[in-house]
Amino acid sequence: MPHTLYMRAALEEAQKAFEKGEVPIGAVLVKEGGIIARAHNLKEERRDPTAHAEILVIQAASRVLNSWRLSGTTLYVTVEPCPMCAGALIQARVGTLVFGARDAKAGVCGSLYNLVQDSRFNHCMQIEEGILKDSCAEIMQRFFKERRK
């Protein structure tokens, strides 16, 4: 599976967010070897606390597939999802989550908790982490370093 190819596409989305002054997180959703949706954070632009890359890519993919059920898909996201996004992934029935960097402050797919693999929910997904981890962490570090200036 070409994880690095898809994670590079997610990093391209993160760069778009960076250039807009948004927290640089990008996501792509893949089904049957093809990217069906792309998104990046737009919280500031939309003035919407739910406009995270993961939520936006789920919405876009649901329109493409004409279904809220995203079974058989893989989400590539540059940073470990937060509780809101992890919950949305469960609701959307995403099959696999692949992320780059962990989020020690808000990540719930292994860091603080593992929401997406909690068997008490009606859906669990596979997780792969650390794909292009350094690049995914670097863009975040650069963004916040520039913000502090």
So which residues are the catalytic ones?
54
Would you give the distance in Å from CA 148 to the centre of its chain? Answer: 24
DSSP state of 71: T
Beta bridge partners of 109: 114
End-to-end CA gap in the chain? 40
Q: From CA 40, how far away is CA 28, in angstroms rounded?
A: 9
- What are the φ/ψ torsions at residue 51 (nearest 5 degrees)? -85, 55
Cα dist. 120→84, 89, 106 in Å? Answer: 17, 15, 21
